[in-house]
Each structure stands twice: as C-alpha cells, then as structure tokens.
C-alpha cells in the first residue's frame, strides 16, 4: 500500500500556516498573519510621523483633553503592554477616526458634532484600539501578499498565452486586489472591532450602551451639520452593525459591572 507522503513544499507550507496562525482577541477567530508584529508597528510608526507632519492639531483644548483622557483609559483596559499607544485629536471638518498598526489612534475633531459624552467617544476610540490589538493591518498585509503570490502563479499559468492577453489578465487581477494601509476595513474586521471595542470600553468603565447610542445617531446623521460621509465610507452604520452591537451588550454589561472604576457616560459635552 502506498503511504501518503508530504512534499517538502507541503511541509514548508504547513509550517508557515502554523507559525502564522494568530487568534483574534475576544472573538477567538483564527487568522493567518505572516507579517511580524514588530514590522507592523514600524510601518505604523512611520505612517504616524507622516500624519503628524501633515495634519493640524485641534484648536480645542477640550477635545484634545477628552481624546487623551478616554484614550488612556481604553488603552489601559485593552491590557497590551507591548503597544506604544498614542492618541491625537486633529483639526478637520471630517467626522472621522482611524488607527495605525502598533497603536497610533487619530480622531478628527469634526466627529465631536455627533458625540454627547466621554462614553460615546470611548466607543469610537475602543473600536480603533481593537483594530490595532487584533492586528487587522497585518491580516490585510498578509492577504495582499497572498494576492501577489496569486498574481505570480497566474503569470506562470499564463506563460503560454500571447503577451497581450497575459498583460490584460494581470492588469485586471491587480486592479481588483490592491490593498493599502488606510483602505476601508472589510465587514469582518468592522464587526470584530465593534465587538472587541465594546468589551474594552466596558472594562474601561464606560457604559457600553453608549456605543449603540452613537451608532444609531450617526447612522441617521443626527447631531451635526457637517458631512458624515467620510466616516461612513469606512464605517458603514447599517442595521446589521447595530443589531450585532446589541447582541453583545449583555456580555459587555457583565464586563462593565466588574470594571474596577465606572464612569457611566463620563463627561457630558452638551
């Protein structure tokens, strides 16, 4: 009888998969991440230096203090001591926020037109902190590498075709598979960041119902006169998103009730 045999490539491939399999915090989702965490933080730190060089700090000491205060509390609750957390509030009409790998979080002060209190700000900051601790940037870079490897394989497969048709195929493939650091996250990443973020804000002592308040208000575009299209383009606020948050509320409330210090809805802005 013939024994099943693994080829060297198969063994190497398996080793890469085992080494690169990373469990997402709170959700337990298994992902393949081939980028070393230190490399992600370096890329994040470089991009952060660019952001700080380009963007203007907010003119409001109230908003910069709120971002620093809530950011520190949420980062403490996330309990990831290897991260070099930095939280900055920039001046912009945009109602937006984003994170860079390794723990650099930017909040544009335009988002405060939708914020009623510290707890709602904690919901947004905790969502961004969750993208960082869940290493969604690394997961996307890994997907991009797989896509490049796919393109390479496709090039080999197409080597007998005419040069012209090969070019067309590769262009089409490249066009649908470009992945950048600041492109919108997938729905999978968005729901994961919401769920993880909900636990972080609750452990930081902010009432988790504020996350539902914020997203409901935000999805209706209430509370401000400015454009919400920027944040919505990267954070679609649909019925499923809000339903998912509500589904995880009981667990978040249990975390909140165990929190060492409870702020409720925290400082009220208006």
CB 86 within 8 A of CB 28: no
* Shortest Å distance, C-beta 115 to Zn ion: 17
- Of residues 156 through 185, those in contact with Zn ion by CB under 5 A are 185
- Of residues 181 through 220, those in contact with Zn ion by CB under 5 A are 185, 193
* Rg from Cα positions in the chain: 21
- Whichever of 235 and 263 has its CB closer to Zn ion, that residue is 235
Neighbours of 50 (CB within 10 A): 10
3-state SS class at 234: helix
- Whichever of 99 and 263 has its CB closer to Zn ion, that residue is 99
Phi, psi torsion values for 22, nearest 5 degrees = -120, 130
- Per-residue b or e along 129-157, where b marks 16 or more CB atoms closer than 10 Å to that residue's CB: bbbbbbbbbbbbbbbbeebeeeeeeeeee
Binding mask 63-102 for Zn ion (x = CB under 5 A): ----------------------------------------
- Distance (Å, whole) CA 234 – CA 187: 10
- Whichever of 207 and 235 has its CB closer to Zn ion, that residue is 235
3-state SS class at 115: coil
Catalytic residues: 128
- Per-residue b or e along 164-188, where b marks 16 or more CB atoms closer than 10 Å to that residue's CB: eebeebeeebeeeeeeeeeeebeee
- Distance (Å, whole) CA 184 – CA 229: 13
- Whichever of 127 and 263 has its CB closer to Zn ion, that residue is 127
- Whichever of 150 and 236 has its CB closer to Zn ion, that residue is 236
Binding-site size for Zn ion (CB under 5 A) equals 2
Q: Which residues bind Zn ion (CB under 5 A)?
A: 185, 193
């Amino acid at each position: 009888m013939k024994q099943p045999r693994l080829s060297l490539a198969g063994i190497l491939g398996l080793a890469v998969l085992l080494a690169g399999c990373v469990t997402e915090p709170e959700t337990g989702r298994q992902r393949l991440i081939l980028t070393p965490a230190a490399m992600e933080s370096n890329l994040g730190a470089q991009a952060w230096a660019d952001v700080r060089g380009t963007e203007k700090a907010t003119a409001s000491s109230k908003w910069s203090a709120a971002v620093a205060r809530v950011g520190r509390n949420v980062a403490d609750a996330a309990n990831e001591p290897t991260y070099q957390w930095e939280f900055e509030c920039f001046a912009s009409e945009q109602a937006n926020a984003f994170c860079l790998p390794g723990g650099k979080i930017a909040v544009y002060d335009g988002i405060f037109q939708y914020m009623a209190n510290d707890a709602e700000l904690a919901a947004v900051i905790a969502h961004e902190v969750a993208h960082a601790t869940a290493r969604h940037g690394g997961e996307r870079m890994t997907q991009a590498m797989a896509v490049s490897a796919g393109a390479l394989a496709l090039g080999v497969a197409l080597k007998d075709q005419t040069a012209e048709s090969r070019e067309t195929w590769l262009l089409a493939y490249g066009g649908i598979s470009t992945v950048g650091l600041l492109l919108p996250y997938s729905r999978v990443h968005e729901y994961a960041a919401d769920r993880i973020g909900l636990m972080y804000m609750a452990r930081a002592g902010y009432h988790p119902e504020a996350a539902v308040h914020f997203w409901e208000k935000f999805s209706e575009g209430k509370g401000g006169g400015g454009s919400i299209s920027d944040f919505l383009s990267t954070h679609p606020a649909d019925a499923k998103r809000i339903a998912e948050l509500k589904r995880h509320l009981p667990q978040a409330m249990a975390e909140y009730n165990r929190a060492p210090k409870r702020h409720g809805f925290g400082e009220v802005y208006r």
